[in-house]
């Protein structure tokens, strides 16, 4: 090897691959240390390999992502083709796993998140990597993972450099469709799933004596579940891996961004907040306190063995944002939403909204909270970062329930007074369209997987809406008196609780057929699903308990006594905690999803509050935002 190539002084050899050898080098112009990749001599005359090297350089320069290895320069010196890259002080993920065997769940999640962020940057440019594997992941000294080697990447907007049906990649990490030359971003997600599986278990899911045997296993066999191996991965990461490794691309996460929602919602939120093309938020509108309000005694931070979270009033709507670890509680009697820190169980803020808030929904990607206010016929939009109201969207009297689809940033609101489901654009905070469904609808849920919306009516109908066209595609007949609907998109199940029949209905979201009717407690009022554990939690108002249903067996596994008249329930899948709003005891019970035990139980006394009159001495509604802030209908 010559001591110099162009203006680079060659140092130690760092490694070698199928296309070339990588050396430590110094740029004589800038004195910067780089990793210089030099094409193998026997490939220098092959125009396909030269184009691949040039392609790798162009793609890496275009990406400019902190989770990809940067490329500074590429060119030809004599008969040598080279590529100057960022020199990463660290080691490959392959070497790291060879030393440690397997990684901790936190380490694996962090590295997988960095890879997914790199894939998202590539996806935004229409690029598929096609060779995600531990040898192409560099871990720097700070623990940041960087994706390298875009040499066989494919630009989805241009002609590929290989023909369909010709396999490129590494067979142990390739998706079933990639093995026959058909790839898109979901193929990279499959490969990332294998890398995550290996980080957690210390082994790849498919091993055999020949590449052809491994290829056949990718197409026809299911890997051993992480729960069957000696891992500490937990059910949350196990569910992520299972979905990444689905045989059919349409059953996987459909984009790196959707994967990040389940892998690390905070990373997704940060990613979106930094995008240059994102629409600027309007200036927050201060909501004045209502003339008649409560003086709140903020409960101190509490341990998991202390009493319940006391909130006063009769709590109604309940929602969790797992990315910010916040719980939102609608309090109709004080026309406010209380924000609770789930780490301390202390109150962060109380936000005044419209008259009689009853429904809440959170978009964890944009960190927005949507509050449906029954009496004022409006939806209030709260910025979850600043805890301020940024918009009020007016509609007909009787707004009751609300659901958010984080994948499309659409919000769906039941509006029985207007006989419609209102569809709100989360970017503009305006009503995009309204779907006529009749007066008796009472609950709504959104499924990001498949982009479907589910609406239940008092007559016992489940309406299925296409989230793209907003047309009713199917009507499923169920039992009378349904109160709420929830969806497990990962497992493909829709759940409806019926207060009239004390039942939980289970519907297959793919076939839209009724699978089971499960008897639960007395007067089931609300329900929530943990998509990681596949458990469904049903709040039974009259029997003062929560029924826990196993989504795999469709059976009640236990019944948990909680506070007086549980009316609402919400799940944090990240921590596997369940939060139950007890209407008559003015409190929230906290359940540990792993043990199905209440770890914060309401005390028998009600939390007394004093009513005070504002300085004006008037009573009235919360108001506080003039008509100019009402979004267009």
Q: Which residues are catalytic?
A: 131
Report the 3 state secondary structure along 125-176.
CCEECCCCCHHHEEEECCCCEEECCCCCCEECCCCCCCCCCCCCCCHHHCCC
Burial bucket for residue 298 (CB in 10 Å: 0-12, 13-18, 19+): exposed
Q: How far is CA 492 from CA 279, 489, 511, 529, in A?
A: 33, 5, 9, 12
Helix (H) / strand (E) element for 211: namely: helix 211-220
Distance CA 441, CA 484 (A): 10
Distance CA 318, CA 580 (A): 8
| Residue 56 near residue 153 (C-beta atoms within 8 A) | yes
Report the 3 state secondary structure along 327-341.
EEEEEHHHCEEEEEE
Distance CA 199, CA 497 (A): 40
Using alpha carbons, select from 131, 9, 145, 151 the residue that is nearest to residue 71. Answer: 151
Tokens 């998109």 correspond to 489
Q: How far is CA 133 from CA 102, 357, 430, 629, in A?
A: 15, 49, 44, 51
| Residue 267 near residue 574 (C-beta atoms within 8 A) | no
Distance CA 390, CA 470 (A): 26
Tokens 């007016």 correspond to 394
Distance CA 481, CA 464 (A): 18
- Collect all residues with Cβ–Cβ distance below 8 Å to 256 and sequence separation of at least 6: 116, 117, 119, 120, 123, 185, 188, 189
Using alpha carbons, select from 133, 141, 33 the residue that is nearest to residue 23. Answer: 33
Quote the strand ranges of 374-492, DSSP E. Answer: 378-383, 388-394, 402-405, 410-415, 420-425, 430-436, 441-447, 452-457, 461-466, 472-477, 482-488
| Residue 537 near residue 578 (C-beta atoms within 8 A) | yes
| Residue 613 near residue 619 (C-beta atoms within 8 A) | yes
Distance CA 164, CA 6 (A): 37
Distance CA 554, CA 207 (A): 35
Q: Residue 613 has which token pair?
A: 């009159």
Regarding beta strands 4-5 and 8-16, do their DSSP bridges make them parallel or antiparallel, or are they unpaired?
Answer: antiparallel
| Residue 448 near residue 406 (C-beta atoms within 8 A) | yes
Residues in the chain, total: 633
Distance CA 317, CA 330 (A): 5
| Number of CB atoms found within 10 A of residue 325's CB | 16
Using alpha carbons, select from 320, 329, 369, 371 the residue that is nearest to residue 350. Answer: 329
CA 470 to chain centre: 23
């Amino acid at each position: 090897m010559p001591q110099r190539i162009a203006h680079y002084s060659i140092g130690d050899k760092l490694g070698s691959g199928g296309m070339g050898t990588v050396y430590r080098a110094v740029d004589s112009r800038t004195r910067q240390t780089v990793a210089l990749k030099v094409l193998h001599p026997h490939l220098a005359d092959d125009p396909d390999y030269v184009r691949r090297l040039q392609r790798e350089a162009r793609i890496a320069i275009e990406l400019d992502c902190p989770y990809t290895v940067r490329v500074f320069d590429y060119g030809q010196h004599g008969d040598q083709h080279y590529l100057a890259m960022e020199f990463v002080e660290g080691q490959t993920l392959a070497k790291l796993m060879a030393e440690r065997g397997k990684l901790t769940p936190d380490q694996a999640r962090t590295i997988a998140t960095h890879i997914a962020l790199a894939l998202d940057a590539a996806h935004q440019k229409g690029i598929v990597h096609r060779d995600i594997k531990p040898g192409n992941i560099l871990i720097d000294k700070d623990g940041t993972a960087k994706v390298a080697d875009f040499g066989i990447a494919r630009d989805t907007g241009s002609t590929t450099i290989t023909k369909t049906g010709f396999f490129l990649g590494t067979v142990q990490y390739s998706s079933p469709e990639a093995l026959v030359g058909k790839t898109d971003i979901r193929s990279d997600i499959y490969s990332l799933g294998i890398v995550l599986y290996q980080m957690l278990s210390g082994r790849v899911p498919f091993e055999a004596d020949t590449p052809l045997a491994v290829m056949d296993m990718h197409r026809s066999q299911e890997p051993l579940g992480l729960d069957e191996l000696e891992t500490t991965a937990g059910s949350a990461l196990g569910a992520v891996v299972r979905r990444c490794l689905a045989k059919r691309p349409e059953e996987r996460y459909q984009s790196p961004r959707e994967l990040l929602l389940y892998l690390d919602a905070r990373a997704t939120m940060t990613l979106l907040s930094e995008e240059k093309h994102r629409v600027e938020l309007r200036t927050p509108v201060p909501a004045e306190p209502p003339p008649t309000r409560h003086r709140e005694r903020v409960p101190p931070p509490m341990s998991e063995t202390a009493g319940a979270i006391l909130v006063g009033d009769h709590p109604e709507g309940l929602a969790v944002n797992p990315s910010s670890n916040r719980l939102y509680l609608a309090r109709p009697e004080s026309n406010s939403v209380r924000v609770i820190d789930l780490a301390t169980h202390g109150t962060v803020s109380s936000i005044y909204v419209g008259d009689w808030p009853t429904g809440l929904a959170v978009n964890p990607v944009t960190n927005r909270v949507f509050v449906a206010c029954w009496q004022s016929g409006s939806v209030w939009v709260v910025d979850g970062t600043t805890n301020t109201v940024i918009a009020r969207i007016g509609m007909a009297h009787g707004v009751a329930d609300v659901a958010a689809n984080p994948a499309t940033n659409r919000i769906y609101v039941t509006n029985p007074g207007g006989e419609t489901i209102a569809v709100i654009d989360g970017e503009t905070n305006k009503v995009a369209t309204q779907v006529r469904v009749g007066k008796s609808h009472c609950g709504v849920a959104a499924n990001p997987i498949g982009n479907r919306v589910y609406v239940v009516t008092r007559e016992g109908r489940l309406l299925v809406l296409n989230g793209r066209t907003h047309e009713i595609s199917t009507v499923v007949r169920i039992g009378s008196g349904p109160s709420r609907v929830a969806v497990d998109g990962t497992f493909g199940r829709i759940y409806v609780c019926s207060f009239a029949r004390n039942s939980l209905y289970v519907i297959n979201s793919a076939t839209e057929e009724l699978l089971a009717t499960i008897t639960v407690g007395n007067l089931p009022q609300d329900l929530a699903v943990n998509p990681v554990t596949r458990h469904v939690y049903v709040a039974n108002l009259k029997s003062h308990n929560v029924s826990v249903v196993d989504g795999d067996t469709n059976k009640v596994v236990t019944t948990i006594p909680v506070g007086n008249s549980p009316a609402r329930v919400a799940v944090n899948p990240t921590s596997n905690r369940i939060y139950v709003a007890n209407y008559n005891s003015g409190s929230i019970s906290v359940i540990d999803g792993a043990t199905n035990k209440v770890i914060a139980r309401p005390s028998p006394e009600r939390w007394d509050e004093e009513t005070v009159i504002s300085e004006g001495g008037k009573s009235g509604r919360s108001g506080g935002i003039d008509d100019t802030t009402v979004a267009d209908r």
